[in-house]
Amino acid sequence: MALKRMTKTALSLVAMMGAASALHAENLVVSNWDGYMAADAIEAYSKATGHDAELVLHGTNEEIMGKLIASKGKGYDVVFVSSPFAEVLHNLGLAETLDHAKLLNIANLYPEAGELKHDPGNTFSVPYAWGTTGLCYRSDKVAGTPDSWMDLLAPADGVSGKTTMLATDRWLLGAGFLAKGYSVNETDAGKVAEVRDLLVEAKKTLLAYDDTTFYAKLVSGEAELVHAWDGWCNYGIAENTDIKYVIPKEGSDLWVDTMVILKNSENKDAAYAFVNFILDEKNHRWAAENILYKVPNKPAMDGLSKEFLASYTNMTISPEALLGYEQLRDVGEAQRLYSRTVSEIKAAQ
């Protein structure tokens, strides 16, 4: 997954980000994370459809959400955001209600992609990539196979000081929620406080909070066990086959990155054409082969080679298995509690 995690409430983001950027309404404007689609995708789309288009990069969900909320979605046509943020856009009335007749390639999606809790039937969002969060580790350095979130949160002596955790609110708290047997969308203040205390203790054993370079730390040996999105663990596996990925026995979250057409888009036909273009078997397979994340496109996944799947075994997790994990959802006002709790954890000595 591109760098894309949740750290602030939508309202606080508005204050932080200010007014939206001025963009060219005459061109299709797509906002995505850097490197999250093929470098020539915009050019290929324009050549295939005749629509002019431009790509605007955002670093995080929070960054693009601040701009979208401030502008009420004006100035953008298609945005890539994680599913809880797609829910926010829908709840704010900023997401277009999708006409599937204009998205013929949506037929390529697995049936399970239409069963996602945040948007059953894909009424306002189209899933682009999906996966799990688990443990990524050096099998040549860690004794045995880690199989519990507590292997990360209370590591063995030999591993202590060589672990990292994802830094952003939902995933940092998610590890604690799962370790405690709670929902990854838990909003009970008492349970959140329990998780805060657990994560404060875990902090004493960490090498670092790290959302971006943890796999490199594994490759170098600086870290031996890290909290990771499955695709990013694959980046490490690509460089060192002793790196492995495992979903702890307590489970994982199901994360989903989506494409959303903005209701205030001034280029609706071009926006539909773009989403349809991405859902093409060949175009969508690019994401699996290059980002190393699973995509919910059946013919795209069926086209992956046996050698590729053997190298990245977490790519073989089935859609049925993915739906067995609890999906991260918009937690509304509880996001303020999450942000405050994570601040307390990071400030703790």
With tokens 């040996």, the residue in question is: 221
**Least confident stretch, 33-37, 121-125, 273-277, 307-311:** 33-37
Per residue in 110-132, is it b (16+ CB within 10 Å) or e — as a string?
Answer: bebbeebebbeebebbbbbbbbb
pLDDT of residue 8: 29
Mean pLDDT of the 166-184 span = 95
The SS3 of residue 195 is: helix
Mean pLDDT of the 171-192 span = 97
d(CA 82, CA 46): 25
The SS3 of residue 101 is: helix
With tokens 């799962």, the residue in question is: 178
With tokens 């929070």, the residue in question is: 62
pLDDT of residue 247: 97
Please give the mean pLDDT across all residues of the chain.
92
pLDDT of residue 12: 34
pLDDT of residue 220: 98
Q: State the greatest distance between any 2 C-alpha atoms of the chain, in Å, as a whole number.
A: 60
* pLDDT class of 1 with cuts at 50, 70, 90: low
% of the chain with per-residue pLDDT over 90: 87
Mean pLDDT of the 67-86 span = 95
* pLDDT tens-digit readout, 189-225: 999 999 999 999 999 999 999 998 999 999 999 999 9
Mean pLDDT of the 180-185 span = 97
d(CA 46, CA 300): 22
Show Cβ contacts of residue 135 under 8 Å, excluding neighbours closer than 6 positions.
146, 149, 151, 152, 225, 226, 227, 228, 245, 246, 247, 248
pLDDT of residue 59: 86
Mean pLDDT of the 42-49 span = 94
pLDDT of residue 26: 66
Residue-by-residue DSSP string for 243-274: EEEE--TT--EEEEEEEEEBTT-S-HHHHHHH
pLDDT of residue 19: 34
* pLDDT tens-digit readout, 234-258: 999 999 999 999 999 999 999 999 9
pLDDT of residue 16: 34
* pLDDT class of 62 with cuts at 50, 70, 90: confident
pLDDT of residue 61: 87
- Which helix (H) or strand (E) segment holds residue 344: the answer is helix 334-347
Beta bridge partners of 225: 137, 163
d(CA 282, CA 65): 29
d(CA 232, CA 224): 15
With tokens 């690509």, the residue in question is: 238
Q: Of residues 120 and 26, which shows the higher confidence score?
A: 120
The alpha carbon of residue 54 and the mean position of all alpha carbons in its chain are separated, in whole angstroms, by 23
The alpha carbon of residue 287 and the mean position of all alpha carbons in its chain are separated, in whole angstroms, by 13
Mean pLDDT of the 265-275 span = 96
Beta bridge partners of 163: 206, 225
